[in-house]
Each structure stands twice: as C-alpha cells, then as structure tokens.
Amino acid sequence: MCYNNVLPKLETHLVDHCNLNCKGCSHFSPLSSPAFADFNQFSKDITRLSELFKNINRFRILGGEPLLHPEIIKFISFARMKLPASNIRIVTNGILLPKMTPLFWETMADSKISIDITVYPKVPVRVGTIKALAEKYDIDLDINYPTSFRKIPINFNGDCNIKQSLDTCRGNFYSPFLRDGHIYLCAHMTMFQLFENAFDIIPPLNIKPVQGINIHENITGKEIINYTLKPQSCCGFCNWKERIFFPWDISKRKEDEWI
C-alpha cells in the first residue's frame, strides 16, 4: 500500500472533556477532568507533520468537545496555514455553535474549515440556526443523527490476534491519532488511561499510550505511514468481531458502560 508520502487521515483532540458526556463514549470523555491541548505543542507537531508529508488528506479536530477550547481560533488558523491542501474538519456535538463569536465563523470561512456535527437523540441542538450560520459564512456542514453507540470491543485478556484485529479495524476505520508529539494507531487505546484511572484497573490490562511513534525523532513520513498499518501489542485488547450496540444516553460514569 503506497500513499506517495501523503497521510490519508489524522485526528487530534483540542480537549479531552465534553459538555454532553455520552454513555460509553469511545474516547472516554465523561471520565476526563477538564484537559486542554497546549498550543505550543500543537504548533510544533503540525509544523513537523507539514515537513514530513506532502499532505494530510483529512485532518479532524475533535475531543471531547473541541469548541470548549478557549483558543480554538488560534488552533484552526495555524492548522490551515501549515496544511494548506488538507480537508480540515471540526467534529462537534453542535451545542455551542450558535454561541460562537462572529470571529470564529469568519476564521472558519477564511480558513475553509468544515464542520461535522453529531446530533444525538433528545439533545437540544439548534440545527436551523447552525445551518443558517453555515450558509451565511459559506462553510461546508455535515450533520449526522445517530441513535446508538457501538460498545468498545475490549478483550481484557489482551490475547486477540493482533494482525486480525488491526486488519478488521482498518477495514472499517483509518484513524491515526496525534497526541503530544506522537502518532498512535487510534484514539481508543491512547485515551484508555482515563478508564484505568477512573476505575482503578490494574495489570494485566494496563493499556497505556506507550506504543506511539515520535514524529520529532529522525523519521520519515513513509515510516510513519507504515507504522499506522502495522499491528501493535495493544491491538490484542481489541476484539473487533464483537458487535454490541446500545441506545444513546447520557453517561452515569459507570464501569459497565464500557465493558
């Protein structure tokens, strides 16, 4: 598989926490204390990626709820400056969009940043107002209306076939995750430490973000792409054969929401 030094997709958090807190959130946001991305780290990482890759086809800025970051304008402006050809998208639940300042909308328009909104059942999102704002500022808008979540397929024994797990995962998703100068195979395993900390999970589970690749070392874009396609030991904790869905609801921060 060759991408000609183009990374197909990359995701990153602006915040880990959320203003909605969905039951069983795959990024474990209901279990997070307020946690904001640092702009200096972000700018260093994006600059480095712009040197490593000809392009990142799709760059998704999410969380948590990214609109909670007080410096979001600064982040999106810098991302566009360094990634001029990327399809950059803010992923949000939409609740805060009608309250965002004109400067936010003007920056989104000038930077050609798109918005992906997930509207959950019974959540008061002012979709009409958002559509009007997007039309006013000529911003690409995609709205999704899910009714259920898929439970994270955690295998506590960690003994799944790692190649089969990653092949199944990559057949459905390709979502490398950028965090603090490292790229990981996905956000799930990176953010699992929130679950461990909340419920005092002890080894042998112990899924920690230790298997990322440091983008600031002597490395090439091709090596990073190859890394995103290579199974890691953490893949043994993902049983992607398991398909359990549950109706969307607000989290009560209970362990059984995730296992």
Express each pLDDT in 76-122 by its tens digit: 999 999 999 999 999 999 999 999 999 999 999 999 999 999 999 98
pLDDT-derived band at 170 (thresholds 50, 70, 90) equals confident
What residues have CB less than 8 Å from 196, skipping those under 6 apart? 205, 206, 207, 208
Mean pLDDT of 20-38: 94
* pLDDT recorded at residue 205: 52
Strand partners, 85: none
Q: pLDDT grade, residue 126 (50/70/90)?
A: very high
Rounded to the nearest integer, the mean pLDDT of the chain is: 91
Residue 249 has pLDDT above 90, yes or no: yes
Structure tokens at 238: 């993902």
pLDDT band at 232 (very low <50, low <70, confident <90, very high): confident
pLDDT of residue 210 exceeding 80? no
Residue pair 166/140 in contact by the 8 Å Cβ criterion: no
User: Any idea what DSSP says for residue 32?
Assistant: P
Query: Which pTM does this prediction carry?
Result: 0.93
- Which tokens go with 79? 């991302």
Length of the chain: 259
Classify residue 119 as exposed, middle or buried by CB count within 10 Å of its CB (0-12, 13-18, 19+). middle
| Per-residue pLDDT band at 242 (split at 50, 70, 90) | confident
